[in-house]
Each structure stands twice: as structure tokens, then as C-alpha cells.
């Protein structure tokens, strides 16, 4: 079977208030065309289908329209797991209906782990692939809290919970493989942060834990897995030295920190026992450009872009020596005769006293949740030796908020 591995679509995501539905629609149309032209048999979507747990009607329309189109193509099976951004109950709600389209959805851990194992048949009607579709494992799914636990105890139990879950699900897959007439590959899916994983500024990955949950070692995955299709990290990469454990990455850049980065989907074929992996570059549907410098450098770069990439979205960081209070007006005038848009202007002057003055004028738009907490620690004079524990507890609290399924009854 020919497999296509993708993840982290984040349909519905905006960029500094600018909706990106046109980009998502262009990507999904391109992906549907690729599935047909490459003769893909199985599509694996490894989590974070939507950007929020309550996606808009437009986001849902794009998702379901794509699934209907793929169901009518050469693709015989689609398997979707939930990521940390997804609402498990929202994804699961239509799964009985989607099953008639050969779209299998695993939004959350169920009482029966057999629900996470799929034996997929090929064109001949015989089994050709087994998929262990493990969704994003929330704290409550894999760990029982106990009074008086230390941070290390919690981290250890989280890792052991993940290890046990993959072990048990893969054991079911192996037992099913033993009943088949021929040896078929086992592919596993997951949505997690593997140790050593690469992230980029502004790529949207939420590192909710300081501890081990955000950095699981590759040895938690059973050796029977022939290919591991991962989601969560937005940079395409392999896990450690293992070429068969891969992140496909997000198909469009989530922020300006990813501007110019190549995006990919992965095609996986099994020839004998080893997977053959082909990386397919995703076209850039909306150019992003980050410009930093003094006034002359910024204006010069804008003029270059007007000649080569007239519809780019810009993030501009002014770091000149001169104090300039009308930056937005100047830059708006510079792009006036183009299709470019300025999504953000950051005024970071070099002179030290001006920088200090700017910090007093910061808005919440300039900070994320972790920045705000760190400022609170500074404001209250919390000693350095007390900060690791407080930060860990704070990020655990954030994790519980993000993982709350607001659609569940």
C-alpha cells in the first residue's frame, strides 16, 4: 500500500488577526490532487486537524469537503487522530457516518484499545496494512494523580503511561497480524513531543511541560512498529537516528519564524520489510516575510519584494538608532502600490534607554502566556532557586486548560 503521512493542518488558524482560509483551501485542493496523481491508498492525518477545539463553520466545511473528495478518489482509507488542539468529542461526533466513507477517526482513548487498531485491506480484498492510531494522550488518560507526588514522580508516571499504552495497542496489532496469511507492516500514529525535536519561534507548538512529557524518548515505541507517523512538531524531521520515525510537519507556516521554510508531506511505501520514504514539498500558498533593520534597510527590502513577491505578508522589526514614532504610517505608504500586507510592526530601537521605555509600553500582543508569567515572577522578586517548580506547576495548569474538551457533555 502507498501511504501519505501529513499532520498539523490547524485549519482556522489566523495570523495577527488575518484569516487564512484561502491558504487552507489551496493546500487541501493541492493535497487531493496529489493523492490522485500519486495513487495513494492510505492517508494518515496525525493530529491537530483544527486550530481550536471549537472550529468555525468555514473550517469545518473545508475539512468535510476534503474528506468527501478523497473518499471518491483512489484513496481507500483515511485515518485521523486528534491532536492537542483538537476537541476529542468534536472529532468523534461524526465518526460513525465517516466510517461509511472509509474514514476512521480516533479522537480519544476509549475503554477498548482494539478501537485504535485498524486492519486495512488492499484492492485484492486481503489485509495489507495494520495501523495503530494512537491519539494525543492527555494526562488523565495515562496517569492517576496521587497526593504528595513530586515533579519527578509525575514525569515518570506520564512516560510509563505512554509506554504502556503503545505497548498494549501494538500487542493487539501483533496478535491480529499473527492471524493473517501473510506478514503485513504495522504503522503507528501519535501526536507528541519526541526528545530532541526541533521547533521554531512562532511555529505555534505549545511546550506545555518543562518535564518529560514534552520530550519522550524513542525507546517508548515497541520494536514491532515498521513506520511511526507523528504529529505535533511543525518542522519536518525524523526522531533521533531512526529513519522510520518521522514528523511530516505542518503544511503551511504557522508564523513568521517559519517564513521561507520548506514544508512537506511524506509518502511511505513498503518494499519487503523496510519503508521507502519520499518527501514531497508543499507549494507556498501565501509568502511570509520577516524584515529587520534600520529604516533604509527595511524600505530597500520592501522595494525588492514589490518586484518579486508582490502579495507577501510582512512582519517588520525596526532596530534603528533613531526614535521613530510613525513607523506604521511610513511602511504603509511604502507598500501602498502593491498587494502586500503588513501584519505586524515591532519597534525595537537599539539605544538602551529607549528599549527600557518600550518595555513599559508593551501590550499583551507582544507577549505569550509564558512571558506574562515570567514577568510576574520578576515583579514579585521570586528567587531563581524557586522558579523551576513554580514554572512547572504553571505549565501543568496551562496544559489542563488546553486539554479541556469543551464540547464534551
Note the pLDDT tens digit of each residue in 179-200: 998 889 999 999 998 877 777 6
Instruction: Give the per-residue pLDDT at 101.
Output: 94
Quote the domain boundaries for residue 322. Answer: 288-403
Distance CA 256, CA 200 (A): 10
Quick one: 299 and 278 in the same domain?
no
Residue 330 lies in a domain: yes
Write down the pTM of the prediction: 0.86
Are 119 and 189 found together in one domain?
yes
What is the pairing mode between strands 127-133 and 186-191? parallel
In a domain, 165, yes or no: yes
Same domain, 296 and 339: yes
Q: What is the mean pLDDT of residues 82-90?
A: 94
- Pair (389, 326) in one structural domain: yes
Output the nine-digit C-alpha cell for 45.
Answer: 492525518
Q: What is the pLDDT of residue 181?
A: 84
Q: Which three cell numbers stand for residue 379?
A: 515583579
Q: How confident is the model at residue 208 (pLDDT cuts 50, 70, 90)?
A: very low
Distance CA(276)–CA(268), nearest Å, equals 6
Single out the residue of 34, 5, 73, 1 nearest to residue 267, CA to CA: 5
Structure confidence by residue, pLDDT tens digits, 106-143 = 999 988 999 999 999 988 889 999 999 999 998 877 77
Burial class (CB within 10 angstroms; exposed 0-12, middle 13-18, buried 19+) of 261: middle
Q: Please, are residues 134 and 91 in contact by the beta-carbon 8 Å criterion?
A: no
Q: What are phi and psi of 82, to 5 degrees?
A: -80, 145
Identify whether 225 is part of a domain: yes
134 contacts: CB under 8 Å, gap ≥ 6 = 81, 106, 116, 165, 166, 169, 188, 189, 190
Q: Are residues 345 and 379 in the same domain?
A: yes
What stretch of H or E contains 347? strand 341-347
Domain co-membership, 329 together with 207: no
Domain boundary among 282, 311, 330: 282
**CATH number where 70 lies:** 3.60.21.10
User: Which three cell numbers, joined as nine digits, stand for 293?
Assistant: 533593520
Amino acid at each position: 500500500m502507498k501511504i501519505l503521512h501529513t499532520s498539523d493542518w490547524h485549519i482556522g488558524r489566523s495570523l495577527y488577526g488575518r484569516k487564512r482560509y484561502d491558504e487552507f483551501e489551496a493546500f487541501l485542493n493541492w493535497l487531493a490532487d496529489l493523492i490522485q496523481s500519486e495513487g495513494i491508498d492510505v492517508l494518515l492525518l496525525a493530529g491537530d486537524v483544527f486550530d481550536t477545539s471549537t472550529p468555525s463553520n468555514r473550517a469545518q466545511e473545508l475539512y468535510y469537503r476534503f474528506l468527501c473528495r478523497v473518499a471518491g478518489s483512489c484513496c481507500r482509507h483515511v485515518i485521523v487522530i486528534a491532536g492537542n488542539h483538537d476537541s476529542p468529542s468534536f472529532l468523534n461526533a461524526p465518526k460513525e457516518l465517516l466510517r461509511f466513507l472509509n474514514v476512521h477517526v480516533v479522537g480519544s482513548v476509549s475503554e477498548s484499545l482494539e478501537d485504535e487498531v485498524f486492519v486495512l485491506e488492499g484492492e485484492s480484498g486481503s489485509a495489507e496494512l495494520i495501523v495503530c492510531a494512537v491519539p494525543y494522550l492527555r494526562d488523565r488518560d495515562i496517569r492517576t494523580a496521587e497526593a504528595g507526588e513530586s515533579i519527578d514522580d509525575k514525569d515518570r508516571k506520564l512516560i510509563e503511561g505512554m509506554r504502556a499504552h503503545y505497548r498494549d495497542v501494538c500487542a493487539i496489532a501483533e496478535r491480529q497480524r499473527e492471524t493473517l496469511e501473510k506478514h503485513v507492516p504495522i504503522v503507528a500514529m501519535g501526536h507528541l513531543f519526541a526528545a530532541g525535536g526541533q521547533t521554531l519561534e512562532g511555529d505555534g507548538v505549545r511546550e506545555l511541560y518543562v518535564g518529560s512529557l514534552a520530550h519522550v524518548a524513542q525507546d517508548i515505541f515497541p520494536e514491532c512498529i515498521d513506520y511511526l507517523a507523528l504529529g505535533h512538531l511543525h518542522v519536518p524531521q525524523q526522531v533521533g537516528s531512526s529513519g522510520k520515525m518521522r514528523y511530516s510537519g505542518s503544511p503551511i507556516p504557522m508564523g513568521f519564524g517559519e517564513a521561507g521554510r520548506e514544508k512537506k508531506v511524506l509518502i511511505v511505501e513498503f518494499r519487503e520489510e523496510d519503508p521507502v520514504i519520499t518527501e514531497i514539498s508543499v507549494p507556498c500558498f501565501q509568502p511570509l516575510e520577516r524584515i529587520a533593520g534600520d529604516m533604509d534597510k527595511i524600505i530597500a527590502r520592501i522595494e525588492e519584494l514589490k518586484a518579486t513577491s508582490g502579495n507577501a505578508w510582512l512582519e517588520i522589526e525596526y532596530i534603528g538608532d533613531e526614535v521613530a514614532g510613525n513607523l506604521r504610517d511610513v511602511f504603509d505608504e511604502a507598500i501602498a502600490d502593491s498587494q502586500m500586507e503588513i501584519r505586524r510592526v515591532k519597534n525595537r530601537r537599539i539605544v538602551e534607554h529607549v528599549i527600557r521605555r518600550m518595555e513599559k509600553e508593551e501590550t499583551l500582543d507582544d507577549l505569550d502566556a509564558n512571558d506574562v508569567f515570567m514577568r510576574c515572577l520578576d515583579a514579585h522578586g521570586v528567587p531563581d532557586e524557586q522558579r523551576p517548580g513554580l514554572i512547572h506547576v504553571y505549565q501543568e495548569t496551562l496544559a489542563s486548560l488546553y486539554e479541556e474538551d469543551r464540547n464534551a457533555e
